Structures are given as C-alpha cells and as structure tokens.
A and B are shown apart, each in its own frame.
Chain A
Amino acid sequence: MIPIDFEYHRPKAITDAIKIYQALTADNKDTVYYGGGTELISRSRLNEITPQAIIDLKNIPECNTFKREAGQIVIGSTVSLTAIADTPLFPLLSNVVRSIAFRTARNKITIGGNLAGDTFYREAILPLLLSDSKVVLAGGKGIRQVEIHEIVGKGMKLAKDEFIVQILINEKYTKYPYFNHKTTKQSKVNYPIVSLASIKVDDRIRIAFSGVCPFPFRLREIEDIMNNSAESPGERARKVIDLLPSAILNDMHASREYREFVLKQSLCKLLEHVERRVS
C-alpha cells in the first residue's frame, strides 16, 4: 500500500507532457515523470519519496519506438528491458539488460527508468557509453539531442523538467566484437559487485563499468592502460585500480577489498577473451 496520494497524468504527446509538468510545478506540486514505475512504487511505499503528481510517459508514441532506422537503432525511453533483451538489435545491450533484475521485473522496468532512476548501478548505460550514443531529451527548453557523455556524470545531468524520449545508437557499433561480465554476491539475480561491458573498435578496447564505484563510468585513461598489450593482463588490471574515479564501493554486497579482487579478475578475463580472439 502506498501511503500517499498523487495526481496521475498520461499524456499522448511530448508537448502535452511538458505542458502538464509546467502547470503542475507552477502550482508548486512535486512532479515526476513515470516510466515503468518500479522504483517509484517501491520507494513511495516506504515513504522515501512523496511525489504529488506523476506523468506517465507510456502513451507517447516516440517513447515507445524500438526500431532500426537510417543507420541507427532508435530505442524509446518506455521500451521494456525484456523487449530489448528479446530483440537483439544491439546484442551487447541485449546481454547487459538481460542480467538486470529478473524477467517479470524486466517486463515492467523501462530503459529510460534504468538510466534516469535513483538506483545508481544503471547497467543499461554501459553499452550506450561504449557506443557514444545520443539521447533525445524533452523539457522546458523544447526537444534537444545530446551526446550521452554530456548527461552522464556521478548522476544523470537532466534538468528537473526534462525526460528522456529516445536513445539513438549508431548501427556500426552493434557489429563490433563485444564482451560483458557481471559478478553478484551469491544469487544470479542481484545488484552487481562488478559489471563490465566492452567492445573492440578499430583494434582498441573500450570498457565501461558498473558496481565498482557509486556510479557507472567509462574513462579514456583506463582504456589506454587496458590497450597497452606490452604489459601482462595482471599488470594492466593492477594499474586500472589506481585510475578509478572514486573509492571502490564498500557495502553489504561486497567489501572494498573483495570488489577490487573481483574487478581485477574480471579485467583479466576480459583481456584473455579479447586478446585470444584476436590471436
């Protein structure tokens, strides 16, 4: 039982969603955009968040798109993780999202929700970082297209009145060799201790991480180290630890020391896979 009440709006057009948001916030109502809603329902049930109004984006056609078009894969923000897992237009993305939660949950979780929600693992973002994807946003400033790197930091850098409409992936990235590996504490279904995804573009490895730090990331400096084949996998993995963008997570899922151990093992596994494939 959710112990609060809120208004519910379900616009059929992007412009309507923006207008509704502006009217509600002008009325001082704490308003949030709503995709799959699993996080909102869980957190409002616990009184951790108390929105006064929600705007459900699932009836907006642009948010429901999932297609290959003009050399791009176009994924609407309200497309479910199951749909993405079962339709491998971008096989790495399908693999990564298949490891998020479990199937029935994935039937409800949307890719937009995974990217823009408060749960910081955001594993669906890893293939998008690797493929230099673009994101279509809508809000008070209208509709704009940005590089995914512009809106990904320690959190998602979206304006309060903005929502993700679509993700655009250059189709060429869906054809490169890829690798992904996720380690959880015990059961198969859990948050990652370490989740990494990688593609090899023009003989250069790209890597993105989740679960290591309290935000997902991809760093050129780490990729430089990982691409230095003059050094052993173990030596490269050791050097990566020194370049991480924050302290390694230390929580109930894994201690900092264990996470570091798993990260090194995962990096070695990745290098063995990629370099064996090449040789």
Chain B
Amino acid sequence: MENIETGQLIKLTVNEQSKEIYVRNSETLLHTLREKLGLMGVKPGCYNGDCGSCTVLIDGIPINACHILSVEAVGYQIMTIEGLKDQTIPEEFIKNWAIQCGYCTPGFILNSYALVQNNPDADDAAIDEWLESNICRCTGYQEIKESVKNILNVKR
C-alpha cells in the first residue's frame, strides 16, 4: 500500500509561491503556515474552528486554518493576509477604526475580501451571515460591518 507513513513531503501553493515542505499528516495548516513558513499573520485563537482568527482563503473560500490538515490543502491556492495585494479593505478598516487590538483583523479582512469577491451584491443579511464567522473580542463589529458596506457601495 502506498503512503503508509504518518508524514509526507508535500507541495503547497501559498500566496502564489510553491513551497515544498515535510508535514505530519495530522498537522493543521495553521501550524504549517506559522511554524514552518513563518506566516505570522495567520493568528491562532481557539484552535477549534470557532473564532475565525486563523481564517485563510483556499481557492478564494474562507477556511479556518486550524480546521484543515496541511495534506488536505495540496492542489489548492492558499492565501494568507501576507498575500493580499489589494489594500482597499485594510485601508477602509483603518479609515473606519475597524481595528482595536488588531488580533482578529487578518481573519476579518480575508473573510471580508472573499465576501466582496464572491458576493458583490451582498445585502445586510448576507454581510451578517459572512461576518458572524469571526469573533472580535474588542467588539468592533459595527465598524467592521460599516467598512465592508462602504467597500461594496463603492464597487456598485
């Protein structure tokens, strides 16, 4: 039987760069991105898929990096906050003071980016549905939502 080891050499595409890396099969993408690739914008929070602080985009879809094995991510385009070239959302967050301590911000920004890309006609209910995936301990939800609405309005 092939692939009987508990770890393997895999190739991940992270922020448009190909990375060859040895991982344990049970290693989460959160661990690989932070500890092996040094991408510290992927913030660990609950490690349980509850808080959204480690959100990354897998082929443009928000996924909690703590809830995906690195071996599962082979063959997909992974984007972390370090790979976000479009600065519209970060600038809007700053303008609206949609950041306080900033810890949840990378996750919120990537989720918001995916929302704007995938659902440019999002109404209030859709924005709420997307943003409820992320927790802000400083409770800056209103400012974050305003930022997203502003971006969507500009694009319409």
Contacts and interface: CB of A to CB of B under 8 A. Distances in A.
A107 B72 contact: no
A58 B72 CA distance: 9
A188 B48 CA distance: 18
Contacts of A38: 49, 67
Interface residues of A, number: 31
B47 interface: yes
Contacts of A44: 26
B7 interface: yes
Contacts of B69: 8, 37, 41
**Chain A's interface: helix, strand, loop or mixed, by majority?**
mixed
Nearest to A105: B49
B47 A45 contact: yes
A46 to B, nearest CB: 9
B90 interface: no
A1 B28 contact: yes
Contact of A20 (B1, B25, B28, B133): B1
B63 interface: yes
Given A6-B6, A7-B6, A103 B62 contact: yes
Contacts, number: 84
A229 interface: no
Contact of A104 (B24, B52, B72): B52
B127 to A, nearest CB: 11
Nearest to A85: B129
20 contacts: A1-B27, A2-B27, A4-B26, A7-B3, A7-B5, A7-B25, A8-B3, A10-B71, A23-B1, A41-B49, A42-B48, A98-B129, A103-B133, A104-B49, A104-B133, A105-B49, A105-B133, A108-B64, A188-B132, A189-B132
Interface of A: 1-2, 4-10, 20, 23-24, 37-38, 41-42, 44-45, 54, 56, 58, 82, 98, 102-105, 107-108, 188-189
